[in-house]
């Protein structure tokens, strides 16, 4: 039986990368000490900073980014897969990538993924977000092979786009991921149901490490990091918004079992959408 012990690290990142790196390292070490072979950190691990100039002042390229350097060292030291859910990376010009990176047990980067879907919304509590004014959207969906499983990479708002996770599952992903910095308002309304829905639809495990609490820049995030099994059951949750670690053992054969019971990935058919009534689509009826 294929088995993988995994962990999701919940953080409350501030605006200073050095402090966030220290917090990340302590939580990752805790996860590894609890037996985790794969550890995931949340979106914007390196800094939660809504001020554009403040963010630009701390940006580094991927090769020079201190968060990714520390993550590489931790992965090698602890002999784990370490998935930095995302951090802001300088990609030249005035734009930034919201980039997730998975490191292998030797410390080498196995894959990176740039968030595809930008959180451009106006919430009814007065919050307004325009990620596209700061971040360059990714154009490539990504899977990465661990030693016993294939992982599909997503970030936060991506979880609202089921076709992305379906495509990752069709590409063989056993585990889907959506590390996040969900706002409290949207998290309270939709966080759990979205994670469970993506698991059920695809017969896959879902792991989503989250930011939580009131951040240094004034943002408030929901927390509640989750690990969900392929039947949609929550098997581990941080039921709060405080920093911490959740751990679960994934029985990976459950993926095939769920997909054999409900083979919707195989049963999907191509179709077209037509608008109007039957009368307006063909010859006019007298």
pLDDT band at 286 (very low <50, low <70, confident <90, very high): very low
Q: Quick one: average pLDDT of 92-119?
A: 93
- Average pLDDT, integer, range 38-52: 93
Alpha-carbon distance 175 to 207, whole Å? Answer: 7
Identify the pLDDT of residue 123. Answer: 65
| 122-133 pLDDT, tens digit each | 666 655 556 767
- Of the residues 60, 115, 188, 220, only one is catalytic, namely 115
pLDDT value at residue 50: 79
Residue whose pair of structure tokens reads 């009814």 in the numeric block: 124
Please report which confidence band the pLDDT of residue 279 belongs to, taking 50, 70 and 90 as the band edges. low
CA distance 82 to 32: 10
Domain definitions of the chain by residue range: 3-281
77 is catalytic: no
Query: Catalytic: 216?
Result: no
The catalytic position among 43, 127, 131, 254 is 43
Class of domain 3-281: alpha beta
What pTM, to 2 d.p., does this model score? Answer: 0.94
Length, in residues, of the chain: 286
Strand 220-222 relative to strand 226-228, pairing: unpaired
| Catalytic residue flag (residue 156) | yes
Q: How far apart are CA 102 and CA 277, in angstroms?
A: 50
Find the catalytic residue in 3, 22, 70, 156. Answer: 156
């Amino acid at each position: 039986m294929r088995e993988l012990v995994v962990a999701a690290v919940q953080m409350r990142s501030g605006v200073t990368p050095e402090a966030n790196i220290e917090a990340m390292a302590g939580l990752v070490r805790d996860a590894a000490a609890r037996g985790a072979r794969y550890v995931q950190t949340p979106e914007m691990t390196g800094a939660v900073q809504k001020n554009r100039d403040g963010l630009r002042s701390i940006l580094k390229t991927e090769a020079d980014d201190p968060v990714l350097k520390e993550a590489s060292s931790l992965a090698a030291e602890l002999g784990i897969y370490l998935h930095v859910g995302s951090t802001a990376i300088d990609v030249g010009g005035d734009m930034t990538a919201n980039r997730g990176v998975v490191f292998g047990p030797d410390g080498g980067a196995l894959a990176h993924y740039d968030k595809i879907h930008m959180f451009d919304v106006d919430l009814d509590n007065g919050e307004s977000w325009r990620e596209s004014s700061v971040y360059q959207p990714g154009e490539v969906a990504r899977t990465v092979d661990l030693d016993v499983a294939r992982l599909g990479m997503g970030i936060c708002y991506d979880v609202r786009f089921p076709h992305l996770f379906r495509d990752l599952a069709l590409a063989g992903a056993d585990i889907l991921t959506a590390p996040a910095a969900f706002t409290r308002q949207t998290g309270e309304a939709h966080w759990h149901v979205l994670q469970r829905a993506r698991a059920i639809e695809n017969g896959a495990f879902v792991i989503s490490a989250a930011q939580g609490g009131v951040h240094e820049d004034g943002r408030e995030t929901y927390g509640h990091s989750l690990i969900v099994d392929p039947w949609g059951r929550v098997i581990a949750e941080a039921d709060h918004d405080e920093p911490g670690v959740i751990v679960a053992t994934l029985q990976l054969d459950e993926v095939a079992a769920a997909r054999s019971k409900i083979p919707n990935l195989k049963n999907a058919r191509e179709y077209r959408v037509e608008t109007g009534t039957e009368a307006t689509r063909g010859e006019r009826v007298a």
